[in-house]
Amino acid sequence: MPRRGTTPLVNDVELQTRSITFGSADDDEKPKKPWYFRLPLLVTVILILAPQPSVLRVLVDHHWRVMKSPLFFAVHLAAIYTLTFTTLTSLLICVTRDPGPVNTHATRRTDYGGDDEDIGLAEALMADDTDYTAPGKWCRKCWAPKPERAHHCSVCGRCVMKMDHHCPWLGSSCIGHRTYPAFVHFLTCATLLAIYIATVSVRALIYSFQNPYGVDEVTPVHELVLSMYGIIISIVIGPFAAYNYYLITTNQTTLEHISPFMLLRHLPPLPRTGHSLSDPPLEPELSYEQRRIVKDAHGKILMYDLGWRRNWAQVFGWNTRWGWVPRLLCGGASPGDGTHQPRNPRADELLAKLAEDLIKADRNFR
**With b meaning 16 or more CB within 10 Å and e meaning fewer, what string describes 54-81?**
bbebbbebbbeebeeeeeebeebbeebe
Q: Quick count: other Cβ atoms within 10 Å of Cβ 15?
A: 12
Side chain identity at residue 129, one-letter code? D
Backbone angles phi, psi at 78, to 5 degrees: -65, -45
User: Active-site residue 153, yes or no?
Assistant: no
Closest CA to 286 of 229, 359, 204, 213: 359
Q: Is 164 exposed, middle or buried (0-12, 13-18, 19+ CB in 10 A)?
A: buried
DSSP for 106-144 reads HHHHHH--S-GGGHHHHHHTSS----TTSTTSEETTTTE
Q: Quick count: other Cβ atoms within 10 Å of Cβ 334?
A: 22
State how far the Cα of 351 lies from the Cα of 301, in Å rounded to an integer. 7
Determine how β-strand 173-175 pairs with β-strand 165-167: antiparallel
Q: Which of 156, 167, 174, 330 is catalytic?
A: 167
The residues annotated with a catalytic role in the active site are 167
